[in-house]
Amino acid sequence: MKTCSSAIPQAGIARTSPTPDRLSSLVSWALTLCLLVLPDVGFAQSTVVGWGDNADGQTTVPADIGDVTAIDAGSAHSIALRSDGTVVVWGSSAYGQRSVPTGLMGVTAVAAGPNHNLALKADGTVVQWGYNADANTPPLTLSGVTAIAAGDVHGLALKSDGTVVAWGSNTHGQSSVPVDLTGATAIAAGQNHSVVLKSDGTVVAWGANNAGQSTVPAGLTGVVAIAAGSSHSLALKSDGTVVAWGENVVGQAAVPAGLAGVIAIDARAHHNLALKADDTVVAWGRNHHGQASIPTDLNGVSAVAAGGGHSLALQKRLTPEIAISDLIAHVQGQSAMHHGIRHALLAKLHDTLAALAVSDQVIACQAMQGFIDLTYAQRDKKITLVQADYMIVQSNDIRLFMGCQ
């Protein structure tokens, strides 16, 4: 929510349950004086889409999952962070992966190992549950953490001072953080190896190296994100390209030719996911469960997570508020439209948003109908036929979306 001034509290509008005329005058007055700017993207919500192996229900997303801000995937389970700081887990619970600690709240990040989970809390502490062999529990004194990563049976924590803490299994040296490591900005954990991105755009890796997963390519710089699979590693460069190294038996280290425009990456086991700037997803590597076969209708993605044999995507959920905001942006962009008419149309749309904000569907539907009526009245007069017909179609769709009679 953005405001130009606190002179007109929006809460005051919400408490009065105003009539359409009163609501219109309040909002129009506030808009005119730049005292109130209703949100254009603040109503965005996200949900989770899963595909691939579903033997344990790991891609059957709970219907009541709510608004999700982050996701991750284990071997046969999935985890999501809700916008209210709580966590939900579904899929396998053979090792207690779904047994979220009672009262866990204030979470800001989550990470899934094959059979366990980590949660980073707002106070900089870390909580673990699920498989707990090889002392796979964060140190009790651990604090000041800003990011977490979960390997097979080891964990990593990035601290606010740029140092890294590791715990759990150390059979391959995966928990032996280089003593001179500083300036870390991101971390990733593979099955038995660890990867760190430094502030200078270079990458450091240690632990198992049987497939070259810890041998960072010479001259690799300009890196902005990293990920680690079972025995391979990925780096996203600032130019939107991806570099991979390590095991390649099922093509997991063979980056698709021409892949560009990438803004996020993830890896688990033997496949990878890349999120592009156009909100689409590219996958490569093992596909025996369809985990690398992107659903044809997948769009509006903001995050991805690769699991053992499944994949997840965080998808923006369309709401009436988002659709109305898009229409507002369209009307605002019609600079050739008569100023008074454009202002009146915008007022109707803002009236609709304000009514939806206080859950008054009747007033919201009336305001939206007012927008349609005004557009019809000025069609081929002060609004061109093309402009009017587009807005009429869009606004009628929105009314249906709102459930208006």
Q: Is 77 among the domain residues?
A: yes
Looking at the structure, tell me whether residues 158 and 285 fall in a common domain.
yes
Looking at the structure, tell me whether residues 139 and 165 fall in a common domain.
yes
Q: Please, what is the end-to-end C-alpha distance for the chain in angstroms?
A: 29
Dmax over CA atoms of the chain, in Å, equals 77
Q: Is 1 among the domain residues?
A: no
Q: Which of 294, 317, 340 is the last residue of a domain?
A: 317
Looking at the structure, tell me whether residues 56 and 202 fall in a common domain.
yes
Looking at the structure, tell me whether residues 273 and 397 fall in a common domain.
no
Looking at the structure, tell me whether residues 304 and 380 fall in a common domain.
no
Per-residue pLDDT of the chain in tens (405 residues, 90 and over written 9): 223 332 322 322 222 333 334 333 333 333 333 333 333 333 446 889 999 999 999 999 999 998 899 999 999 999 999 999 999 999 999 999 999 999 999 999 999 999 999 999 999 999 999 999 878 899 999 999 999 999 999 999 999 999 999 999 999 999 999 999 999 999 999 999 999 999 999 999 999 999 999 999 999 999 999 999 999 999 999 999 999 999 999 999 999 999 999 999 999 999 999 999 998 999 999 999 999 999 998 988 999 999 999 999 998 877 888 889 889 999 999 988 999 999 999 999 999 999 999 999 999 999 999 999 999 999 999 999 999 999 999 999 999 989 998
Looking at the structure, tell me whether residues 60 and 108 fall in a common domain.
yes
Q: How many CB atoms neighbour CB 177 within 10 A? A: 18
Looking at the structure, tell me whether residues 302 and 223 fall in a common domain.
yes
Looking at the structure, tell me whether residues 19 and 54 fall in a common domain.
no
Q: Please give the tally of structural domains in the chain.
A: 2
Contact of 52 with 59, CB cutoff 8 Å: yes
Concatenating the DSSP letter of every residue in 56-95 gives TSTT---TT--SEEEEEE-SSEEEEEETTS-EEEEE--TT
Residue with tokens 């990925």, as numbered in its chain: 234
Separation between Cα atoms, residue 159 and residue 351, nearest integer Å: 46
Residue 343 is part of which domain span? 10-41+319-402
Looking at the structure, tell me whether residues 156 and 305 fall in a common domain.
yes
Q: Which of 268, 293, 317 is the last residue of a domain?
A: 317
Looking at the structure, tell me whether residues 342 and 303 fall in a common domain.
no
